[in-house]
């Protein structure tokens, strides 16, 4: 099954390393949105792996389960406190504010459980594949995530991050695709976005992006001859899956149906409001955090994308950025924001070993390591306004028609 994007740039000279993904000899550089030069990495994955202390690769089953049960205990404690004391607030408006604040707060440990299931999908949870898959299936099913289906497509994202021909999510439009989307013949015919439109688009992205990804593979590759809803994470025969994955996709769907059954009995036993405030609304905000995190991990004015002929695994892994989210990122979200660059180089390292491993690889990555301590809400708005499409030759950088940063080519 072919996709609509293919690499067309001239071949690069590559160095083969034993048992390793190829690394490039030739230097390649481009100017990012801010006007700074970005030099494509020339190191290989072995250079990165050798820098990481061996103990960072150790997966401890007891430690991993501790965090699962800790997050479940946090969820249960929040539920008990909220459902015991918020109903005692006499003022209806203050009570509404209390329930809303509770639902948003509860979405954080929900997202923490999502992250732990994500660890399972990468086999970083333990040394036992059946444990990883069992725990991941249960946790993700509770959050209406088709575990194996997502595991397969997300794994392909890791294998092709930043590759315009093969990446599976947060794939930016090329300049020509951006022009075509607006029904124009050149960028000069495309008007800039208003802030109101950008805000509208962000709201849709943050609260509908995850469902759109599951049901239509939005921001992923386009498959020729396939309608939008044929490319979804619930259809075992969808082109995003291999034939050997068919029954795992079915098992993922069984998990979703099982959770729908749980919600039915939850509703019958405790009522609609109880289900809405303790599960559905936190689930909606959990999906928001997921999109918020992953969008900002892969979208920034300093990050490149590559045509297939200029791509290597190491170059792709460096197409990510670490950010800071304070106590929320460290305690609730298990450092998924703060150590994401490492995660793309070595996804089997458990999150509790990621900080020292991240520090160990920074000297190898050099200037290609990207980190930002900017407020993430500021970064979200900035990326939405500046990162409209990518432009360039073998290595493409973000550009926009809103007048921010380096102007795109005509």
In eight-state DSSP terms, residue 223 is: B
pTM summary value: 0.91
3-state SS string for 27-46: CCEEECCCCCEEECCCCCHH
The length of the chain in residues reads 410
Give dist(CA 323, CA 336) in Å, integer: 9
Bridge partners (DSSP) of residue 305 are 396
Q: Describe the strand order of the beta sheet including 304-306 as a list of residue ranges.
A: 304-306, 395-399, 389-392
Query: Residue 273 to residues 61, 77, 111, 312: CA-CA distances in angstroms?
Result: 37, 19, 21, 50
Decide: residue 191, CB within 10 A, 0-12 exposed, 13-18 middle, 19+ buried: exposed
Q: Are 139 and 113 in contact (CB under 8 A)?
A: yes
Contact 187, 25 (CB under 8 A): no
CA-closest candidate to residue 149, choices 159, 138, 131, 137: 137
Tens of pLDDT along the chain (410 residues) come to: 333 333 333 333 344 433 344 455 568 999 999 999 999 999 999 999 999 999 999 999 999 999 999 999 999 999 999 999 999 999 999 999 999 999 999 999 999 999 999 999 999 999 999 999 999 999 999 999 999 999 999 999 999 999 999 999 999 999 999 999 999 999 999 999 999 999 999 999 999 999 999 999 999 998 988 888 899 999 999 999 999 999 999 999 999 999 999 999 999 999 999 999 999 999 999 999 999 999 999 999 999 999 999 999 999 999 999 999 999 999 999 999 999 999 999 999 999 999 999 999 999 999 999 999 999 999 999 999 999 999 999 999 999 999 999 999 87
């Amino acid at each position: 099954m072919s996709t609509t994007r293919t690499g067309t740039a001239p071949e690069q000279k590559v160095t083969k390393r034993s048992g390793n993904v190829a690394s490039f000899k030739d230097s390649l550089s481009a100017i990012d949105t801010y006007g700074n030069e970005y030099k494509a990495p020339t190191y290989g994955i072995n250079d990165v792996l050798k820098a990481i202390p061996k103990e960072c690769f150790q997966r401890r089953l007891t430690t991993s389960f501790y965090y699962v049960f800790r997050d479940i205990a946090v969820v249960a404690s929040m539920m008990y406190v909220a459902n015991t004391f918020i109903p005692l607030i006499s003022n209806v408006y203050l009570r509404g504010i209390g329930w809303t604040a509770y639902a948003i707060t509860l979405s954080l440990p929900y997202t923490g459980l999502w992250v732990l299931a994500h660890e399972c999908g990468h086999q970083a949870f333990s040394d036992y594949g059946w444990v990883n898959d069992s725990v991941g299936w249960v946790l993700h099913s509770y959050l209406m995530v088709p575990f194996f289906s997502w595991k397969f497509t997300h794994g392909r994202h890791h294998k092709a991050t930043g590759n315009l021909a093969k990446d599976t999510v947060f794939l930016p439009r090329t300049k020509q695709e951006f022009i075509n989307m607006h029904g124009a013949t050149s960028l000069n015919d495309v008007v800039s976005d208003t802030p109101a439109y950008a805000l509208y688009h962000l709201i849709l992205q943050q609260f509908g992006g995850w469902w759109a990804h599951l049901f239509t593979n939005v921001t992923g590759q386009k498959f020729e001859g396939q309608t939008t809803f044929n490319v979804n994470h619930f259809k075992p025969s969808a082109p995003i899956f291999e034939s050997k994955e068919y029954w795992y996709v079915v098992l993922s769907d069984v998990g979703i149906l099982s959770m729908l059954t749980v919600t039915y009995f939850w509703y019958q036993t405790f009522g609609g409001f109880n289900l809405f405030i303790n599960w559905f609304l936190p689930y909606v905000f959990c999906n928001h955090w997921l999109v918020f995190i992953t969008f900002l991990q892969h979208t920034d004015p300093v990050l490149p994308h590559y045509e297939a002929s200029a791509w290597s695994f190491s170059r792709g892994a460096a197409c990510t950025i670490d950010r800071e989210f304070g106590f929320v990122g460290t305690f609730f979200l298990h450092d998924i924001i703060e150590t994401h660059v490492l995660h793309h180089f070595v996804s089997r390292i458990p999150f509790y070993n990621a900080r020292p491993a991240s520090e160990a690889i920074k000297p190898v990555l050099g200037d290609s390591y990207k980190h930002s301590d900017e407020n993430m809400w500021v970064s979200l708005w900035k990326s939405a306004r500046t990162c409209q499409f990518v432009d360039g030759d073998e290595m493409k950088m973000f550009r926009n028609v809103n007048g921010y940063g380096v102007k795109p080519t005509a």
